[in-house]
Amino acid sequence: MTTVRILFTIVFTILFLVIISFLDFKVLTPLLPLSDDVCFYHTHIPPTWVNLLYLDSSEHVEAPYNLLHMALLGIVSMALGIVFATKAERFLKRKEG
């Protein structure tokens, strides 16, 4: 892996992390049918996707979300960063020669 690809990977990963996090937290999450009451899921059984992605250890839906949610955002951002870095490096090599 060349230095240029490593630099592109870091830059694209950070860029995608910011974009995907913004879309997730400001656009997608407010559209989801999550309860506004932070203690709602103490007395009700949450759907599996809510339990996996949004509930913390005390069963509150709060801003930090859960570790799996953050890990998925990071993994998707890194995968897109690697793909775009590879494409950008290939584009620059074709442009040179």
CA angle 20, 36, 53 (to 5 degrees): 40
- In angstroms, the CA 49 to CA 89 distance is 37
The structural domains of the chain, with segments of one domain joined by +, span 3-96
Of the candidates 39, 35, 28, the residue with the CA atom closest to the CA atom of residue 69: 28
17, 30, 38, 47, 56 from 63: Cα distances, Å: 17, 12, 11, 19, 10
pLDDT in tens, 18-71: 999 999 989 998 888 888 777 787 888 888 888 888 877 766 666 557 888 899
- In angstroms, the CA 22 to CA 96 distance is 35
Rounded mean pLDDT of 65-80? Answer: 92
